[in-house]
Amino acid sequence: MEIATLSQHLTKIPPTDTWTCYQFDSAVTHFGHWVESKMMESDDKGRRKYDSIAELLKLTKPKTIDDLDSFKAFFAQFGM
């Protein structure tokens, strides 16, 4: 799937709005490069600093219903 198609599917961007699609593509590409470079980092002993993307981004599950509601509200802004 092309990234433009993905951006339209995920964000409901109209296909005629090429500028917004381009900005989305650029943001995803930039973030992807950042993640790849961080995942390649190693410590002084040559071991990888991060074992997973979740560890790199310090992803955690919501601990309270308030946190879950805030996640839902955030994603609702984007029609998800």
Q: Which tokens sit at 23? A: 């900005």
SS (H, E, C) 7-56: HHHHHCCCCCCHHHHHHHHHHHHHHHHHHHHHHCCECCCCCECCCCHHHH
Residue type present at position 29: T
pLDDT (tens place) for every residue of the chain, 80 residues total? 566 666 566 666 676 777 887 887 888 889 889 889 989 999 899 999 888 888 888 866 656 656 677 777 777 777 65
Burial (CB < 10 A; 0-12, 13-18, 19+), residue 7, is: buried
Structural domain count of the chain: 1
Predicted local distance difference test score (pLDDT) of residue 45: 92
Enclosing domain of residue 44: 3-76
Entry pTM? 0.55
Predicted local distance difference test score (pLDDT) of residue 79: 67
